[in-house]
Amino acid sequence: MRSFEQRGARVEVWRDLEEVSARAAQLFAETAQACAAASGAFKVALSGGSTPKALYAVLAAGGESATLAPPGERFDGNIPWRQTHVFWSDERCVPPDDERSNYRMADKTLLAHVPIPANQIHRLRGEDEPARAAQDYESVLSAEFGAGVPRFDLILLGMGDDGHTASLFPASPALDDSERLVVANRVEKLCEYRLTLTFRTLNAAAKIIFLVSGESKAHALRAVLADDVNSHALLPARLVAPSNGALLWLVDEAAAKLF
């Protein structure tokens, strides 16, 4: 593994997605254990898409597994699931049983296999009218975190090859929203609405971990992490910068080929 600092973030470059996922699982477990011990709860927002599937499978496998840990380490699968509260960074506007649903993906790969109490799983209701679903999720966040901006213990994020993250896409209205916690964002390139946490919510997190894999992400990753300000400032992932938290990029060599 090689690592470097870029724009205030730590970037770890691992051989492939399997190593990225093993490292992410270890950090997930460590964070969960620390938060559960400190406050009795671990509040995490999951990412959608395909990249995190491998991580979720590692977490679901749990237990001791030398083969799944980064080289030289053992994966400590002792995760306090009963004290874990699960949220999402974004969701497609589809029912929970739709194959495009981020909730469905996480349920099949992880949630169905670990003992998280059902009332601690807080999905975005993609089946509802988008603006209403976003407002309802803001109410969920207020109920779970109290008034003000929720501070997640951990938010997992991915990045598209256009530099989007969560469902904050280039040139979409949500990029400019500094008031809301959750919005229904119109994504013209997809001709659809998406439900997403806003930057206001993302950047309040205690820890954000990006998982990025594959050569198709290389140019976006270079643009997002480049020091010169005018380089593709429109790439949404570039605007993820926790105001009082840690930001870590876990990427594979294919995605990091330009570094």
Site residues (vs ligand 6PG, CB under 6 A): 47-51, 89-90, 102, 158-160, 164-167
Residue 43: CB minimum distance to ligand 6PG, A = 18
Q: Residue 32 is encoded by which pair of tokens?
A: 């969960």
Closest CA to 77 of 61, 58, 57, 63: 63
> Residue with the closest Cβ to ligand 6PG?
158
Residue 105: CB minimum distance to ligand 6PG, A = 9
CA–CA separation, 19 and 227 (whole Å): 27
Asked if residues 59 and 31 have their Cβ atoms less than 8 Å apart, the reply is: no
Closest CA to 203 of 45, 49, 92: 45
148: left (phi over 0), alpha (psi -120 to 50) or beta: left
Q: How many CB atoms lie within 10 A of CB 253?
A: 18
Task: Tell me whether residue 50 or residue 78 sits nearer to ligand 6PG (CB atom).
Answer: 50
Task: Tell me whether residue 43 or residue 164 sits nearer to ligand 6PG (CB atom).
Answer: 164
Residue 208: CB minimum distance to ligand 6PG, A = 13
CA–CA separation, 213 and 208 (whole Å): 16
Residue 73: CB minimum distance to ligand 6PG, A = 24
Task: Tell me whether residue 24 or residue 36 sits nearer to ligand 6PG (CB atom).
Answer: 24
Residue 37: CB minimum distance to ligand 6PG, A = 29
Helix 102-109 crosses helix 53-61 at what angle (to 10 degrees)?
30
Residue 150: CB minimum distance to ligand 6PG, A = 18
Distance of CA 252 to the CA centre of its chain: 16
Closest CA to 140 of 75, 91, 186: 91
Task: Tell me whether residue 36 or residue 249 sits nearer to ligand 6PG (CB atom).
Answer: 249
Closest CA to 90 of 34, 33, 144, 130: 130
Task: Tell me whether residue 116 or residue 211 sits nearer to ligand 6PG (CB atom).
Answer: 211
Task: Tell me whether residue 29 or residue 255 sits nearer to ligand 6PG (CB atom).
Answer: 255
